[in-house]
Amino acid sequence: DAGVIQSPRHEVTEMGQEVTLRCKPISGHDYLFWYRQTMMRGLELLIYFNNNVPIDDSGMPEDRFSAKMPNASFSTLKIQPSEPRDSAVYFCASSLLGRGNEKLFFGSGTQLSVL
C-alpha cells in the first residue's frame, strides 16, 4: 500500500486566497483525521471522520476552515480566506480504530505558508 497520500507537499499563497489541501487515506481505513502542527501549539486535531461522516470538528479554528470527505478515498481541508497565522504543517492520518488496530498512519504533510 502507498500509505496516506497528501497533496501538495508545499503550498505558498497570499493572504486572502483560498487554499485546498488534499488527502487520500489508506484503502480500507474508515477513520480519517486532519491535524495541524505549529511550533507554538504542537500537534492539534482539527477534525476527524468515520465512514466519511464528520464526527468531531471542535478543533477547527474558525469558520474559515472547512473539511469534506465525499467518499472513502478522498478528503479535503479548505481555508477561505487564508491568513498568515494559518501557516503550519497540515497532516492527514487514517486508521481502522476499534478493531484492536488502534494506531494512526500519517501522510507526509502539507507545509502551508501564507504571506
Find the shortest distance in angstroms from Cβ 81 to other proteins.
Answer: 26
Q: Which of 28, 56, 84, 115 binds other proteins (CB under 8 A)?
A: 56
Per-residue b or e along 42-59, where b marks 16 or more CB atoms closer than 10 Å to that residue's CB: eeebbbbbeeeeeeeeee
**Number of residues engaging other proteins in binding (CB under 8 A):** 23
Instruction: Judge contact between 75 and 50, C-beta under 8 A.
Output: no
Adjacent-strand bridge partners of 93: 33, 106
Find the shortest distance in angstroms from Cβ 98 to other proteins.
Answer: 5
User: Which residues of this protein are in contact with other proteins, per CB under 8 A?
Assistant: 31, 33, 42-43, 45, 48, 50, 55-56, 89, 91, 93, 97-99, 102-106, 108-109, 111
